[in-house]
Amino acid sequence: MPIDETAGLFPDADTRVFGVIGDPVSHSLSPVMHNAAFAQIGYNGAYAAFGTRDLAGAIRGVRALGIGGLSVTIPHKEAVMAHLDELDRLAAEIGAVNTVVNLDGRLLGYNSDCTGAISALSRKTRVRGKRAALLGSGGGARAIGFGLRAEGASVTVVNRTPERGERLARDLNADFIPLNDFNGKNVDILINTTSVGMTPDVDAVPVPASVLEPEMVVMDIVYNPLKTAFLKAAARKGCMIIDGLAMFIGQGAFQFELWTGKKAPLEIMEGAVREALQSRI
């Protein structure tokens, strides 16, 4: 496919390369979002998706090739910390990294999931004093749980594997319920932090609809598809729903500004992602 000369993207020897690492990443719209933003401001950058489970090898590649920065997704958000040179205070407190910056050969770790999620929630509901339940125990759950506690919410971790769930609950000073025992009672905010329901397994749900109550606020951090089967079920129950796009754009803007030192073109980023999602329907 020829390069669109109107896009402002002319890869050359000076092009700064960025990417997302994880497994899977074939669904990721981070390349769409970041490349549209680079083009909009005329930044000589290119962003790609690197599907890998070889985390150590990937980080060696970043150092060897001078990759400018990374988005980090499932399953690497916690493990990547051991491979970095320095952690931002918030990322260290959370215990998970979703953003890596290569600063002259030093790899710095940040977490933008926390601020992105709390911002998305706060636009729809008051968080302080609410009872929140997190489905999952990975890096996303850790970041969002940290943010919820900081905002004054009580938190319950709901997870299939007790060992991982109990560990996260201890770290957050939260309660733990095994997934099979979760009934949705006494929950104001329910958040899916897992990849269940993500393309291509769009019919999967993290919990049955029977646990959903009409007064719940239900959020899914999955953004592809935008309306997951989980959110559709919640809407049918009369819940207030929050899709993953607001969090996705917010955390992406934070990354973009760290990497480029430029203000993120939010409208362009959101428009590019929405257009890409619409084209896949």
Angle at CA of residue 214, ends 115 and 201, nearest 5° = 65
> Stretch 24-37: mean pLDDT, rounded?
95
Q: Is residue 1 assigned to a domain? A: no
pLDDT band at 8 (very low <50, low <70, confident <90, very high): very low
Q: Rounded to an integer, what distance in angstroms lies between the CA atom of residue 219 and that of residue 206? A: 12
What is the reported pLDDT for 281? Answer: 64
* Residue type, position 163, single letter: E
Spatial separation of the C-alpha atoms in residues 170 and 42, rounded to whole Å: 46
- Confidence class for position 11, pLDDT limits 50, 70, 90: confident
* Predicted structure pTM score: 0.83
CA distances from 18 to 67, 129, 270 (A): 6, 39, 19
How many structural domains does the chain have? 2
Neighbours of 43 (CB within 10 A): 19
Same domain, 129 and 85: no
- Please state at what angle helix 139-150 crosses helix 162-172, rounded to 10 degrees: 30
Q: Does residue 82 lie within any of the structural domains?
A: yes
Return the minimum-mean-pLDDT range out of 3-7, 41-45, 134-138, 270-274.
3-7
| CA pair distance 189, 241, nearest whole angstrom | 10
Alpha-carbon span 191 to 174, nearest angstrom: 15
* CATH number of the domain to which 79 belongs: 3.40.50.10860
Tens-digit pLDDT profile for residues 146-198: 999 999 999 999 999 999 999 999 999 999 999 999 999 999 999 999 999 99
Q: Are residues 122 and 223 in the same domain?
A: yes
Q: What is the pLDDT of residues 196-227, one digit of tens each?
A: 999 899 999 999 999 999 999 999 999 999 99
Give percent above pLDDT 90 in the chain. 90
7 has a pLDDT exceeding 90: no
DSSP code at position 125: S
Domain that holds residue 275: 16-111+248-279
Beta strands in 181-270 (DSSP E): 189-192, 217-220, 240-242
- Is residue 77 flagged as an active site residue? yes
Type of residue found at 224: N
Note whether 131 and 147 are within 8 A (CB).
no
Q: Are residues 128 and 106 in the same domain?
A: no
Spot the catalytic one: 77, 227, 237, 263.
77
